[in-house]
Structure 1
Amino acid sequence: MDGNVLSVEKDPDDGMYRVRFSFPRADEVVKELRYDRVIVCTGFRFDASAFAPECRPALVIDDRFAPLSPAYESVNVPGLYFAGTLMQQRDFKKSTGGFIHGFRYAVRALSHTLDERHHERPWPHRQLENSPAALADAVVARVNRSSALWQQFGVLGDLIVTPPGEPADYHEEVPVAYAHERQLGYDGDYFTATQEYGPDHDKVDPFDITVRRTAQNSVDDAFDAAYLHPVIRHHGGGELLATHHMAENLENHWDHPEAHHAPLVEFFARELDHRPSPAGR
């Protein structure tokens, strides 16, 4: 209802509840509605009683969650992993890890992490031609069809490892923080591709026509886009080297030849030219 609850009072005559709301986006209009029942959802705390003291995870955020590493592993109990809604500790109130449409993709990522760490099965990937056009084709195809990148915005991303003189390895739906951790000690270049909103996007009324927005498919304003859009970052030597924002599109089609594909090809061409030679790796 997009309103703030001002009061909840039980009517002694009929036993119903009178609930008063104010609506900030309607000039603080106050409205009273009547209900048979009121359910108060006040959150939860983590029940650690199932764990012996020597393997009990630490707790954070008002004792709701165990703090987790980028691999969804307890930070103080090695080998203790969490799956499901408790994974949201990694993206609490930032993405969708608290809901099934978000954590289902995190669970799948966890399965790949466990395979990689404990069963000598590498993260699923495919090889691509290590060229700007081929990398741009792959990224454009993925951002236009991947529900994981869409739902777990800013949390899951595709990882593209680009060793000079060799084919590129394209890994799908890797937790971004884990991707960086995974590449520690790798002195070559890699890219991440995510879907992200602009800063403070959740504070903007989507129906407020007075709010400034970037123009549809505007390449020049892409870095300032507030709506969900693909972001590609270049990393190397443990540092962020460059960032490319694909132009905002309200129909969520990031495949325009001039607005989306060509600028991405240019970005990859420019960044791949800066890679060290095979001899210098």
Structure 2
Amino acid sequence: MTAISTYEYCIVGAGPGGLQLAYYLQKKGFDYVVLEASGAPGAFFSRFPRHRRLISINKTHTGIDDPDTNLRWDWNSLLCDDPELRFTRLTPEYFPSADVMVAYLQQFAEKFQLNVRYGWKVETIERDGDGFVVNSAAGTIRAAKLIVATGRIPRPLPDIPGIEHAETYADMPTDPQQFAGQRVLILGKGNSAMETAENLMETAAVIHLLSPSPVRLAWRTHYVGDVRAVNNNVLDTYQLKSQNTILDATLERIDRLNCGAFRAQFLYTHAEGERRAVTVDRILACIGFMWDPTVFAQMDEPPRASPCGRFPALTSAFESVNVKGLYFAGALQHVLDYRKSFSGFIHGFRYNAALLADILDRRAGGAVPAPQSLPNSWDGVLDAAMERVNTASSLFQQPGFLADIFAPGPNGDCLHYRDLTVDLFEDEVFAPGKPYLAVTMEYGDVGAHADPFNIHRFPTDGRRSAFIHPVMRLRRDGEIVAEHHIPEDLENQWRLPEQLDQAREFLGGLDAWRT
């Protein structure tokens, strides 16, 4: 008979998302367990990225002493109270090896003695009344609340005739000498495709990159999931006519030729319906990642997926929209800010983990952190808000997603809530009908075809700022009543008198605050 263990909270997955949440649950004294299929934490990073270079930056020298502010340029560390346990202490590399991430996650789990059970590959998850039963060959876990932090897996191959001839990003060889002198077609134009092209540039004869949509460059979109400059050398070779090509097209079929090569036929996206074909020796599918819902197959009502199918559909509390008590952590939370902010990456979802732990604490009737009480004066609000936008890593790393919120208190004071989302605040925290001030940091709109290195600036008009800058919005019942953008600053420090005077004037005109 399989032994059954019972916990209040069960986290599936000991990657950075699962470990970060486990740290906060343990800090709160919660009864929890983490189940990990492999024999060590961070199994994803032991395999991906395939060419072993992370694109999350690791800036060890900032010239700044404040540890929270330094996390603005440390995209790999998990949050904790131990200043020695920072990723930046393991390597000085700006783009470090994924092997360092594996070592770091092992250190993190061991340092805090997190309750992780290794070798527990979850096979099925079932409902058990209001709770869950998690089944594995290693045993069975019953939990009142379940948090899935399994990250994402490579997307399956599309249904295209002949696609079985493609090698996948997960299984293709990474030794560039195996492609020497060959013509290679790479399906995809994201970072996995670009890193693969980068690896093959010295050995492959020709590289074609193909997908229906144009390349999206992170330095244009300000979205770190788009193609990073460290991976985009192949774009230079295309524009300078060095044999490699970038194709905006839909692959229609692949045929194997008698000589052993492949003929790939495609339809151009914006070329008056033109069709072409290329003959290649290898086809590599580097088409991105998605969530894996297969463990829920036995549930009568499995969690719904988002419209794009890449994520679970979540409420503002990171809970499944249709399965009560089922939460998601880590990269799977990115459905709430997909392509808008950074919850799909460690430097984003580490802050979401702290918020999720507070949500679970609140729902269990615990003592969640109370908001700070401030004098109900605009000077006090401005001082607190500007201190946060100048130093906090959370607002900087989750632009437009996490907010500091200032709301009228019950005793004529002002309550300062840190690191909430506006949706969660309106759904679960604040009484409807009352106004409140939300302070975020956000990028402006560069424009679809603008050159981000050649933008005319308007130094006194923050609404026209293209780079990251603070935004203040007075909101009521989901509506924006008033809005002020503090103009972007060269060094992301908003301390100049003219910046503060503009914000003070805006705040002073918010009569709705006290109604």
Bucket of the pairwise TM-score, normalised by the shorter protein = 0.7 to 0.9
The answer (yes or no) to whether the contact 1:164–1:276 under 8 Å persists in 2 is no
* Residue 19, structure 1, aligned to residue 258, structure 2: no
1:82 Cα offset (Å): 0.4
> What is the CA deviation profile of residues 79-123 of structure 1, one whole-angstrom value per residue up to 9, with x for unaligned ones?
111000011011111111111111111111111122222233344
Kindly indicate whether the alpha-carbon contact (under 8 Å) linking 2:343 and 2:352 is maintained by their aligned counterparts in 1.
yes
Partner of 2:34: none
Q: After superposition, what is the alpha-carbon deviation per residue over 1:119-150, rounded to whole angstroms, capped at 9, x for unaligned?
A: 33344421111101110000010000111111
Q: CA deviation at 1:32?
A: 4.2
1:118 aligns with 2:364: yes
Matched-pair contact (CA < 8 Å) for 2:408–2:514:
no
Structure 1: 5+ residue stretches without partners: 1-8
1:262 to 473, 482, 501: 501
- Equivalent residue for 1:56? 302
Number of aligned positions between the proteins: 257
Q: How far apart, in 1, do the equivalents of 2:448 and 2:388 lie?
A: 25
1:239 maps onto 2:479 in alignment = yes
Deviation at 1:203, TM superposition (A): 5.7
Contact 1:57 1:74 (8 Å CA) reproduced: yes
Deviation at 1:154, TM superposition (A): 0.3
How far the C-alpha of 1:192 sits from its partner, in A, is: 0.5
Equivalent position to 1:151, from 376, 380, 397: 397
Question: Contact between 1:123 and 1:171, CA under 8 Å: does it hold in 2?
Answer: no
Structure 2 letter corresponding to 1:19: I
Question: Under a length normalisation based on structure 2, what TM-score does the superposition of the two structures give?
Answer: 0.46
User: Could you tell me which residue of structure 2 aligns to residue 3 of structure 1?
Assistant: none
State the secondary structure of the residue aligned to 1:30.
coil
- CA distance, structure 1, for counterparts of residue 506 and residue 442 of structure 2: 18
Q: Does 1:250 align with 2:490?
A: yes
Alignment of structure 1 residues 165-176 onto 2, 5 Å? 166-176=412-422
Unaligned segments of structure 2, at least 5 residues: 1-178, 184-199, 210-232, 245-281
Equivalent position SS for 1:81: strand
Secondary structure (helix, strand or coil) at the match of 1:267 reads helix
Q: Distance in 2 between matches of 1:62 and 1:249?
A: 36
Task: Specify the code of the residue in structure 2 equivalent to 1:162.
Answer: P
CA 20–256 in structure 1, closer or farther in 2 if over 3 Å, else same: same
Structure 1 residue 11 displacement after superposition: 2.4
Provide closer, same or farther for how the CA distance between residues 62 and 263 of structure 1 changes in structure 2, counting only shifts above 3 A: closer
- Give 2:373's aligned amino acid: Q
Does 2:315 match 1:75?
no
User: In structure 2, what is the Cα distance between the partners aligned to 1:119 and 1:31?
Assistant: 63
Cα displacement (A) at 1:186: 2.9
Report the equivalent of 2:406: 160
Task: Give 1 or 2 for the bigger CA radius of gyration.
Answer: 2
> Partners of 1:95 and 1:204 in 2: how far apart?
21
Question: Does 2:288 match 1:43?
Answer: yes
- Normalising to structure 1: TM-score of the pair? 0.80
Q: Check conservation: 1:96, 1:103, Cα contact below 8 A.
A: yes
1:224 aligns with 2:464: yes
Contact kept? 2:435, 2:512, Cα under 8 Å: no
What code does the residue aligned with 2:397 have? Q
The 2-side partners of 1:205 and 1:26 are apart by: 20
Is the contact made by 2:317 and 2:424 (CA closer than 8 Å) also made in structure 1? yes
2-structure distance, mates of 1:169, 1:184: 11
Distance in 1 of aligned mates of 2:422 and 2:448: 22
Corresponding position: 1:102 with 2:102:
no
How far apart, in 1, do the equivalents of 2:358 and 2:502 lie?
A: 32
Structure 2 contact 303–312 (Cα < 8 Å) conserved = yes
How many Å separate the matches in 1 of 2:465 and 2:237? 26
Residue 4 (structure 1) aligns with: none
Deviation at 1:24, TM superposition (A): 7.2
Q: Does 1:213 align with 2:401?
A: no
Q: List per-residue Cα deviations over 1:47-66 (Å, max 9, x = no partner).
A: 22222322521112542210
Closer, same or farther in 2 for the Cα pair 1:45/1:247, shift >3 Å? closer
Query: What is the percentage of aligned positions where both structures have the same residue?
Result: 33
CA distance in 1, matches of 2:358, 2:475: 22
The match for 2:116 is none
Distance 2:283 2:398 in 1: 32
The partner residue of 1:86 within 317, 329, 332 is 332
- CA distance change for structure 1 residues 64 and 20 in 2, over 3 Å: closer, same or farther? closer
After TM superposition, give the deviation of residue 181 of structure 1 in Å: 1.9
Q: Matches of 1:170 and 1:155 in 2, distance apart? A: 17
Aligned position for 1:6: none
CA distance in 1, matches of 2:472, 2:480: 11
